[in-house]
Structure 1
């Protein structure tokens, strides 16, 4: 009988607090986790998201572009990622959670679309939510900014699991998700999501829409 050697799993954790907003420090932190995941022989990235509700200060376009770049890098890692979602999930927390491979949410978590100058912020979280589900809750959130409760998000496929202790739920998954490490994981994601050109087209539209929102906010 062949005895298989268990590979050690490196758990790379990063906290993402929406109340702190989008900063260069956050981008550097997530980028550093991506560096470590790419260098590891077996890793799982755990995103511990803390949310905020209501208005989230909009970043400048240069910072926003860098943030989307690091999220895209997170999505293409040779390592699985899991989001442990506690509290309301908005802003950068929602951005990161929607980019993860697997989402564990507290039963009282709400997915909350951020606003700027009274209108829904046209972030790429909307694109990712639409890719995950076009059921009623996701559609109403994307179009009208209506919050999505945990039960609705689970039913719509926006989260994969509900848990009173999301971080513990994420920890339980580490051994299983580590089995997907490697270049083939990124290839399977591409097969699942389809055209890169479609993403790049959505990204261009997102940045243009965000720029218009920022200009309108500056003129008020």
Structure 2
């Protein structure tokens, strides 16, 4: 897994690599750059690869806790996050794919819930799969790979393309001028919509509307 940034931030994620302190630190470093130096733009996450048998050998709950917090930080970051997936995508790659805003797949992509010993891995990818694509029970329970077309139908991917650069250019044009902080607020409101009733959500939405009106008044 490597990260580099020219203009926008870029993160490359190899799902064949198991969770490790180095992987956690790489993701956290990108988050810190985004929070310190970027108020808008894209965080592009290129994901591919799935774990091999025995990948949990050096993994423990303490490390997993740090990893899940790092993924959650990506999920809440004040930038538009775009994943580009290719080939089989599982493990750390699947975790981060499911935490991004926009997901573009190269033809031939498959989403794979990894298996550990005698069952699918029970990490937070299962939680996100259930919330975002609840019909894919076979993938969550049996580890059956989900091809790109089925993932689009389930809402887990936004598009399958042959030329991801063209799709990224379209996203970048749409994002131009948007505030990362304001986008993060909208993302949170959308996430909470599945958990709260209308009455429970109303106050947070009105507060966001009031904030938007005040921003307009001083612009």
- Counterpart pick for 1:163 among 161, 164, 170: 161
1:46 partnered with 2:29: no
Unpaired runs of at least 5, structure 1:
1-8, 199-220
Unpaired runs of at least 5, structure 2:
1-5, 197-219
Distance change >3 Å, CA 69–CA 13, structure 1 → 2 = same
Deviation at 1:38? 1.1
Distance of 2:88 and 2:125 partners within structure 1: 15
Distance of 2:127 and 2:178 partners within structure 1: 25
- Relative to the length of structure 1, the TM-score reads 0.78
Distance of 1:134 and 1:190 partners within structure 2: 20
Distance change >3 Å, CA 70–CA 196, structure 1 → 2 = farther
- Relative to the length of structure 2, the TM-score reads 0.78
Deviation at 1:99? 0.4
Distance of 2:54 and 2:96 partners within structure 1: 15
Q: What SS does the corresponding residue of 1:122 show, helix, strand or coil?
A: coil
Partner in structure 2 of residue 126 of structure 1: 126
Deviation at 1:139? 2.1
Q: Larger strand proportion, structure 1 or 2?
A: 2
- Counterpart pick for 2:34 among 37, 43, 46: 37
- Counterpart pick for 2:192 among 194, 199, 216: 194
Residues 47 and 83 of structure 2 are in contact (CA less than 8 Å); yes or no, is this contact kept in structure 1? Answer: yes
Partner in structure 2 of residue 101 of structure 1: 101
Q: Larger helix proportion, structure 1 or 2?
A: 1
Deviation at 1:10? 3.2
Partner in structure 1 of residue 65 of structure 2: 65
Distance of 1:89 and 1:115 partners within structure 2: 13
Distance of 2:25 and 2:43 partners within structure 1: 15
Residues 19 and 56 of structure 1 are in contact (CA less than 8 Å); yes or no, is this contact kept in structure 2? Answer: no
Partner in structure 2 of residue 14 of structure 1: 11
Residues 56 and 91 of structure 1 are in contact (CA less than 8 Å); yes or no, is this contact kept in structure 2? Answer: no
Aligned residues: 188
Distance change >3 Å, CA 24–CA 165, structure 1 → 2 = farther
Q: What SS does the corresponding residue of 1:63 show, helix, strand or coil?
A: helix
State the Cα RMSD in Å.
2.2
Q: What SS does the corresponding residue of 2:89 show, helix, strand or coil?
A: coil
Partner in structure 1 of residue 22 of structure 2: 25
Deviation at 1:105? 0.6
Deviation at 1:76? 0.7
